[in-house]
Amino acid sequence: KLATIEQLQKVIDNSKSIVFFGGAGVSTESGIPDFRSVDGLYNQKYDYPPEEILSHTFFMKKTEEFYRFYRDKMLCLDKKPNKAHLKLAELERAGKLSAVVTQNIDGLHQAAGSRRVYELHGSVLRNYCRNCRKFYSAEFIKNSTGVPTCECGGIIKPDVVLYEEGLSDSVVTGALNAIQTADTLIIAGTSLTVYPAAGFIRYFRGDTVVLINRDSTPYDSQADLVFRGKVGEVLGELRV
Ligand code: NAD
């Protein structure tokens, strides 16, 4: 049975430490495609499957092709936060939300004003030379051609967790600590199929799990409130 906004409003009103756990679906209303929806990146035609392009092996072996896909599909620098990002920032300012844990790499939560954001898969906004660690902006990558190279000659790599790579220890620790101490967990815009990230929600031991997703997920039966809709539209209805 699907939940109502009134039920969600009551949960929010009674919460003191909400954690939001989100994925690519949180940014589709900003015009950034997700991976697994019908219009997502996995259903478009490329020379290689996106999972392969976004792997560490592919980055190392076919760096130029990696960057062709990455510049074209992953660097969406003109996109703006939507109602979901903005409402979450408002909930944090009101002292009700303790953290956003996101699988997204687009930086839109921070652009909306969220301060405590655990980016499990890194961010396109940070790029480092593999040789000397010099920092480069996303604009630098966007405006580069071929393989972006540092002034020292090293190859620049986005601070994004590719398939086959591990998550940052400090980000994992912060995210798990936030989830473990939350009273309400809102899960939204994620297919819950990318591990280890998807497994993090199992650390929640608070009162209420809210799930907002366009398609069904493996976790639906375990959530207390389930919305089958757009996360920006659902969160946009809330009074803070
Ligand atoms: P996913 O593509 O596997 O799943 C997205 C889910 O969101 C789907 O179940 C879909 O039904 C749902 N959805 C789409 N739009 C929605 C909306 N407006 N409201 C509610 N639900 C909506 O994405 P995932 O689970 O995050 O895993 C894929 C990986 O892709 C992540 O690791 C992430 O790093 C990466 N990714 C990030 C971005 C980004 O930074 N914006 C974009 C694409 C992929």
Residues with catalytic roles: 121
Give me the mean pLDDT over the 49-75 stretch: 94
d(CA 131, CA 97): 39
> 148 preceded by cis ω (within 30°)?
no
Please tell me the residue having the least CA distance from ligand 1 atom 15.
25
CA distance 65 to 72: 11
The complex's ipTM? 0.94
pLDDT per position as a tens digit, 150-165: 999 999 999 999 999 9
pTM: 0.95
pLDDT at position 38, please? 64
- 152: amino acid identity, one letter: C
Q: Residues near 195 by Cβ (< 8 Å), separated by ≥ 6?
A: none
Q: Is 19:99 a contact under the CB 8 Å cutoff?
A: yes
Pocket probe for ligand 1: among 35, 100, 228, the residue whose CB has the most ligand atoms within 8 Å is: 35
Q: Report CA dihedral (86, 194, 66, 133) to the nearest 10 degrees.
A: 70
For 62-77, what is the mean pLDDT?
A: 94
- Split at pLDDT 50, 70, 90, the class of 40 is confident
Identity of the amino acid at 134 = K
List domains and CATH numbers for the chain: 1-32+80-121+166-240 (3.40.50.1220), 36-75+124-160 (3.30.1600.10)
Q: Which two tokens stand for residue 19?
A: 């954690």
